[in-house]
Amino acid sequence: IDKEENTLMNYKNSKWRNEMAIKIDYNNMMADFIGEEQGFTKKDFDDNKKVIANAFKTVMENRGTGMMGWTELPYNQKEIVDDIIATAKDIKKKFDNFVVLGIGGSALGPIAVFQALCHLRHNELPKSKRKFPKLYVEDNVDPERMAALLSVLDLDKTVFNVVTKSGATSETMAQYLIIMDILKAKYGDKAKDHMIATTSAHKGNLIKIAQEEGLKTFYIPDGVGGRFSELCPVGLLPAAVVGIDIKAMLAGAAYMDKICKNKDFKKNPALISAVLEYIAMGRGKNISVMMPYADSLKYIADWYCQLWGESLGKSVDNEGNLVYVGQTPVKSLGVTDQHSQVQLYREGPFDKVITIIAVENYRATVDISNGCENIPDVNFLCGHTMNELITAERKATEYALTTANRLNYTITLPEVNAFTIGELLYMFEMETAFTGAMLNIDTFNQPGVEGGKNATYALFGKKGYEKTKEEMDNSPKKNPDYIC
Ligand code: PA5
């Protein structure tokens, strides 16, 4: 391994920024490459000209307003970023573990960015090499997981960050209750030194609790929904704590934002990918596979799945008509899934768009050692690098999909660093907004998720949910004949 550290980021230099631009290659979506039956032609783009132009206009007109407050995050957080960096420095001095308590949009972004930008074995490194606290993101209420976490944490060296925009989510508030009880039993009045809150400034219960307990608090802006919150304190605080350059991440998002303002979809990566997915959906391609060829981007695919699924899976359009739209997002990892799912992608139903994420320069180079000189079928690997192998395998998958007439396109990151990750996250957010506008739906609500939250409240006897409880009690009883 010759390069352990990220390439030094010089994001204030415009030449460097342009070298770090993310590229989209959609040749393999076109009829020239995968045939007339599956592939797109100029006519497909022409036929949708109006929808594309209207969607672009809607997003541009609404940016910064309502639930599109996230478009301004690259620009409007100077003081917040300073506070986050100062808090992260303080945490580094006092603690060795930083634990996020949160779920959905409060957890998937921090996990994705941690995996992308920290050493892939960050938590396992000795402190002298790690330099920053360990990060744990607890996004479930599996009792075994909580018990396991508590068994490995030294509480004296641990600070928790409870994150919930609504301040009401059962999973997160249950975790808070458990941890705060333990902290109070151990530290009494000083328990608050081990707990930070990240929540809405005026809505929900967590803000009230945070004020009563005197917790250090970061705020989630009103116009920023859970799955669009990675570039606000929800994601920036955990990232800064583990040593990620959050200013570079925001600079990457701002750089992408500028590109996303181009109304020519051929010059706007978020708009072109929205157009491709929209046309594909119209042809019954109901599955969107996200396949990065980098372990560091594995959880970016997970984060994308929430963004895409929760934003676009809607039963009604903006006029209230039943539409039942959306694409099922699937995460896949190259090359690992070449040995499982690619069989289905190449030979199964024609119901998918496969997005490959390529990385030009990995942060490490590993030579494949010499050996097995008498066995040519093994020896052919020698003299190459793992970098060459993973790149060849990605190209091989593209080739295999294309020759089987499967819709696929490739997003290329010149390298994985805080700037390109900022670009990528922002590009996916914009793509989602453009696609939602093309589908004429509310991209930013989640009535389906809230339905589940409300049913949990009802089952636990929460006040105000009596009607839901009654409806649930009156739902048909299970038929034992159907259980074996
Ligand atoms: O995107 C969303 O809005 C959801 O996935 C939320 O992030 C998730 O349900 C958690 O909500 P909250 O932050 O209110 O606890």
pLDDT band at 8 (very low <50, low <70, confident <90, very high): low
Residue 450 confidence (pLDDT): 86
310 is catalytic: yes
Does residue 339 have an active-site annotation?
A: yes
Taking CA atoms only, the protein residue closest to ligand 1 atom 9 is: 104
Q: Give the number of the atom of ligand 1 that is nearest the alpha carbon of residue 102.
A: 15
pLDDT of residue 334: 97
Provide the pLDDT for residue 149.
Answer: 98
Reported confidence tier of residue 347, pLDDT bands at 50, 70, 90? very high
| DSSP state, residue 367 | B
The per-residue pLDDT for 322 is: 98
Residue 298 among the catalytic residues: no
Confidence grade of residue 2 (pLDDT, cut at 50, 70, 90) = very low
Round the average pLDDT of the chain to a whole number and report it. Answer: 96
Q: From the CA of 265, how far away is ligand 1's center (Å)?
A: 31
Protein residue closest via CA to atom 3 of ligand 1 = 226
Q: Which residue has the tokens 């109070």?
A: 184
| Candidates 339, 463, 477, 478; catalytic one | 339
Measure 169 CA to ligand 1 centroid, in angstroms. 8
Among 70, 103, 171, residue to substitute to test ligand 1 (most atoms within 8 Å of Cβ): 103
Q: Which atom of ligand 1 is nearest to the CA of 169?
A: 15
pLDDT, residue 5, reads 45
Is residue 103 predicted with pLDDT exceeding 80? yes
Ligand 1 in contact with 105 (CB < 6 A)?
Answer: yes
Q: Determine the distance separating the centroid of ligand 1 and the alpha carbon of 476, expressed in angstroms.
A: 30
CA of 103 to the centre of ligand 1 (A): 7
Helices (H) and strands (E) in the chain, counts: 20, 12
Atom of ligand 1 nearest to the CA of 310: 1
Of residues 310, 398, 423, 429, which has the active-site annotation?
310
pLDDT for the residue 451: 86
Burial tier of 176 (Cβ tally within 10 Å: 0-12, 13-18, 19+): buried
Ligand 1 pocket check for 169: Cβ under 6 Å: yes
Look at ligand 1, atom 2, and give the residue with the nearest C-alpha.
Answer: 226
Average pLDDT over residues 377-393: 97
| Residue the block writes with tokens 């592939």 | 39
How much distance in Å is there from the Cα of 373 to the middle of ligand 1? 56
Q: Tell me the per-residue pLDDT of 229-277, one tens digit each, with 9 for 90 and over.
A: 999 999 999 999 999 999 999 999 999 999 999 999 999 999 999 999 9
- How far, in Å, from the CA of 96 to the mean position of ligand 1? 27
Tell me how many degrees the CA angle 67-245-118 measures, rounded to the nearest 5: 100
Whether ligand 1 lies within 6 angstroms of the CB of 106 is answered as yes
Residue 216 forms beta bridges with which residues?
196
Over the range 333-357, which residues count as b (16 or more CB within 10 Å of their CB) and which as e? bbbebbeebbeebbeeeeebbbbbb
| Whether pLDDT at 299 is above 80 | yes
Query: Measured from the CB, is residue 449 less than 6 Å from ligand 1?
Result: yes
Ligand 1 pocket member 225 (CB < 6 A): yes
Does the CB atom of residue 227 touch ligand 1 within 6 A? Answer: yes
At 365, which helix (H) or strand (E)? none
Cα 26 to Cα 272: distance, rounded to the nearest angstrom = 9
C-alpha of residue 56 to centroid of ligand 1, in Å = 26
| pLDDT above 50 for 278 | yes
Kindly state if the Cβ of 103 falls inside 6 Å of ligand 1.
yes
What local confidence, expressed as pLDDT, does residue 6 receive?
46
Ligand 1 pocket test, pick from 101, 108, 164, 308 with the greatest ligand atom count within 8 Å of Cβ, gives 164
Residue with the two structure tokens 């093994």: 378
Percent of the chain, pLDDT > 70? 98
Determine which residue's CA is closest to atom 15 belonging to ligand 1.
164
- Around Cβ 252, how many Cβ atoms within 10 Å? 29
pLDDT band for position 9 (cuts 50, 70, 90): confident
Q: Pairing mode, if any, of strands 322-325 and 314-316?
A: antiparallel
Instruction: Assess whether the C-beta atom of 172 lies below 6 angstroms from ligand 1.
Output: yes
310 in ligand 1 pocket by Cβ < 6 Å? yes
pLDDT tens digits for range 423-440: 999 999 999 999 999 999
CB within 8 Å of 477: residues ≥ 6 apart: none
Please state, for a pLDDT cut of 90, what percent of the chain lies above it. Answer: 96
Structure tokens at 29: 């979506």
Is residue 24 pLDDT above 60, yes or no?
A: yes
Residue nearest (by alpha carbon) to ligand 1 atom 8 = 104
- Give me ligand 1 centre to Cα 164, in Å: 7
**CA–CA distance, 408 with 399 (Å, rounded to integer):** 10
How much is the pLDDT for 352?
Answer: 98
In this prediction, residue 1 carries a pLDDT of 34
Structural contact between residues 412 and 19, judged by C-beta atoms closer than 8 angstroms:
no
> How many angstroms from the chain centroid is the CA of residue 444?
15
Whole-number Å distance between alpha carbons of 176 and 261? 41
* Cα separation, 164 vs 265, whole angstroms: 36
